[in-house]
Amino acid sequence: MRTHYSKQVTPDLAGEKVTLCGWAHESRDMGKIKFLILRDREGVIQVLGKKGETKEEMLSAIDSISRESVVKVTGIVKASKMAPGGVEVLPESIEVISEALSPLPLDVTGKVQADLDTRLNMRFMDIRKPEITAIFRIKDKILTAGREYFEKQDDEFIEIHSPKIIASASEGGTELFPIAYFDKEAFLAQSPQLYKQMMMATGFDRVYEVTNYFRAEEHDTFRHLNEVTAFDSEQAFINDENDVMQTVEGLARAMLTCAAGCENEIEIINNYYKRAKIKDKNGQTKKLEINAPKKNFRKITYDEALDLLSAEGKELPWGEDLDTESEKILGRIIREKFKDDIYFITKYPLKIKPFYTMPGKALDDECADDSYSRAFDLEYRGVEVVSGSQRIHDYNLLSRRLEYHNLNPENFKSYLNSFRYGMPPHGGFGLGIDRILMQMFEVNVREVVLFPRDRHRLTP
Ligand code: AMO
């Protein structure tokens, strides 16, 4: 329907006829002149009506359009130093295609703030705001950058799609959503874990998936959702977990470098922060800064992490997982000490990692409760964004580890089978896309998901 997006209408098109489609962002009556600000995906443009020059019906159309109605405007481009973007459109026709009711449930111009719940209830309208659109445009770009990273390796990763309806837990534990599957018990997949490991027995060697995890966790925090999106990957013929960490680093670097290059979107968001007087935790005007990582990612061991925490007066017993607060403190210490935003924590205790995790010690020491594992996390600004590990590829050891975790090997029969007829050494990881974005923008995780699912939210 349109000839141009708002951004494409530049002063060098002066005198040309254009057709623009979008939403009536605002209209202003200044007596002799009337403005209609039309908004589309790419920005806003001013439509100008002048008494005596513009046809009367155009002027009354500008007057009567309700905000957020969908409009189609055809007119002549005019360069104007006063207009935003240095250009305006003198209308020849204004057509209201779909009228918006008033009053509006949300203010799209950003002048009136609404709380997150109200915004999520009216998400379709919330996303019309340029500063929100900007988040999802960056998300789109970093997902493309991530996919390209996998596809463009000399030894490429093959994209897979694992089932999202599964018969048993993949991570152990009870965090499963049961569903009715004809006469059988079934669940929504917590992760592609078992399937991506089975792919290592096929000869595909390196696979990845852009996937959803469904987790029936009862958390009600700023960083947990019940439906999560992730890059999930597995690779075979590895020497150890360091080969997997190399892939994680390449992927995270590609995503962050891409985001740091999204200058237009970053500017839109920062302009909004200024306009709406959004403050950071120090009471200063919030500023979005995304840095492309320059150095190699630091690796600290779990033991070193405990020592760093202890030096700050935060004692954690060996063998306990890092809680939210410890992760946050550690993030601050590492930023102050090394100026690093992103770093690995390696060599976690085996007992807090899932059954498929390769023990760190010799294979015959595998069930020692206090031994280390070949598992790691990637932390970004003090929050876990990736976990991964080298996996067990030995059938007998894997069966024993299942039992150690009180899981019934019968429920893992088809998975276990793939370890009996030739399974190479392998490892992989899951990178939480929502977590990366949440940390990048320093917002609640719900802000970076179109329609977030949490304990209380099932609609829209
Ligand atoms: P894990 O359970 O640690 O590992 O998940 C991997 C990454 O997914 C993200 N994530 C979440 N984000 C928001 N809300 C949640 N409830 C949530 N749960 C997980 C995090 C986390 O680091 N199978 C293993 C991965 C592997 O070893 O390959 C797994 O799922 O960013």
Q: What is the mean pLDDT of the segment spanning 13-21?
A: 98
Does ligand 1 have an atom closer than 6 angstroms to the CB of 432? Answer: yes
95, amino acid identity: E
- Which stretches does DSSP call E strand in 31-150? 33-40, 43-50, 70-79, 87-98
Tokens of 36: 């209609």
Report yes or no: 429 and 344 within 8 Å, Cβ to Cβ. Answer: no
Which atom of ligand 1 is nearest the CA belonging to 219?
16
Could you confirm whether 4 is annotated as catalytic? no
Alpha carbon separation from 79 to 20, 35, 148, 304 (Å, rounded): 16, 15, 40, 62
Going by alpha carbons, the residue nearest to atom 13 of ligand 1 is 224
Mean per-residue pLDDT of the chain: 94
Choose among 36, 91, 45: nearest CA to 64. 36
Q: What residues contact 281, with CB distance under 8 A and at least 6 apart? A: none
Per-residue pLDDT tens for 88-131?
999 999 999 999 999 999 999 888 899 999 999 999 999 999 99
Report yes or no: 350 and 357 within 8 Å, Cβ to Cβ. Answer: yes
Per-residue pLDDT tens for 141-178?
999 999 999 999 999 999 999 999 998 766 666 689 99
Does ligand 1 have an atom closer than 6 angstroms to the CB of 435? Answer: yes
Per-residue pLDDT tens for 259-312?
999 999 999 999 999 999 999 989 999 999 999 999 999 999 999 999 999 999
Does ligand 1 have an atom closer than 6 angstroms to the CB of 191? Answer: yes
pLDDT of residue 338: 95
Could you confirm whether 457 is annotated as catalytic? no
Q: In this structure, are strands 298-301 and 342-346 parallel, antiparallel, or unpaired? A: parallel
Q: Which of 123, 224, 405, 457 is catalytic?
A: 224
Per-residue pLDDT tens for 323-351?
999 999 999 999 999 999 999 999 999 99
Res 251 pLDDT > 70: yes
- Cα torsion angle, 321, 325, 326, 327, sign: positive
149, amino acid identity: Y
Model confidence at 69, pLDDT cuts 50, 70, 90, reads very high
Tokens of 436: 């990366």
Distance 397 CA to ligand 1 centre (A): 24
Beta bridge partners of 94: 73
Does ligand 1 have an atom closer than 6 angstroms to the CB of 228? Answer: yes
- Give residue for tokens 């970093």: 142
Res 364 pLDDT > 50: no
**Cα–Cα distance, 278 to 425 (Å, whole number):** 50
Read off φ and ψ for residue 184, nearest 5 degrees. -110, 165
Tokens of 381: 């600004």
Could you confirm whether 223 is annotated as catalytic? yes
Secondary-structure percent of the chain, ordered helix, strand, coil, rounded to 5: 35, 25, 40
Q: Which of 4, 25, 128, 215 is catalytic?
A: 215
Three-class SS state of 408: coil
Could you confirm whether 263 is annotated as catalytic? no
Does ligand 1 have an atom closer than 6 angstroms to the CB of 453? Answer: no
pLDDT of residue 169: 67
Which atom of ligand 1 is nearest the CA belonging to 378?
22
Per-residue pLDDT tens for 399-434?
999 999 888 888 899 999 999 999 999 999 999 999
In the chain, what are the domains? 6-98 (2.40.50.140), 125-448 (3.30.930.10)
Per-residue pLDDT tens for 434-449?
999 999 999 999 999 9
Q: DSSP of 341-398, one letter per residue?
A: SEEEEE--BGGGS-TTBPBSS-GGGTT-TT-BBSEEEEEETTEEEEEEEEB---HHHH
**Cα–Cα distance, 451 to 120 (Å, whole number):** 7
Q: Which of 326, 387, 389, 418 is catalytic?
A: 387
Choose among 152, 160, 139, 154: nearest CA to 428. 160
Does ligand 1 have an atom closer than 6 angstroms to the CB of 193? Answer: yes
Res 398 pLDDT > 50: yes
Q: In this structure, are strands 33-40 and 17-29 parallel, antiparallel, or unpaired? A: antiparallel
Q: pLDDT over 90 for what percent of the chain?
A: 90
Tokens of 313: 């007066």
Hey, how many other C-beta atoms are within 10 angstroms of the C-beta on 163? 11
Going by alpha carbons, the residue nearest to atom 22 of ligand 1 is 386
Does ligand 1 have an atom closer than 6 angstroms to the CB of 429? Answer: yes
Q: What residues contact 29, with CB distance under 8 A and at least 6 apart? A: 62, 63
Where is average pLDDT lowest: 70-84, 145-159, 364-378? 364-378
Where is average pLDDT lowest: 6-20, 263-277, 361-375? 361-375
Going by alpha carbons, the residue nearest to atom 14 of ligand 1 is 224
Does ligand 1 have an atom closer than 6 angstroms to the CB of 224? Answer: yes
Report yes or no: 374 and 348 within 8 Å, Cβ to Cβ. Answer: no
pLDDT of residue 171: 67
Report yes or no: 305 and 345 within 8 Å, Cβ to Cβ. Answer: yes
Alpha carbon separation from 353 to 2, 169, 360, 458 (Å, rounded): 55, 15, 12, 30
Model confidence at 363, pLDDT cuts 50, 70, 90, reads very low
Q: What is the mean pLDDT of the segment spanning 374-389?
A: 97
Could you confirm whether 387 is annotated as catalytic? yes
pLDDT of residue 371: 86
Model confidence at 212, pLDDT cuts 50, 70, 90, reads very high
Report yes or no: 131 and 108 within 8 Å, Cβ to Cβ. Answer: no
Beta bridge partners of 300: 345
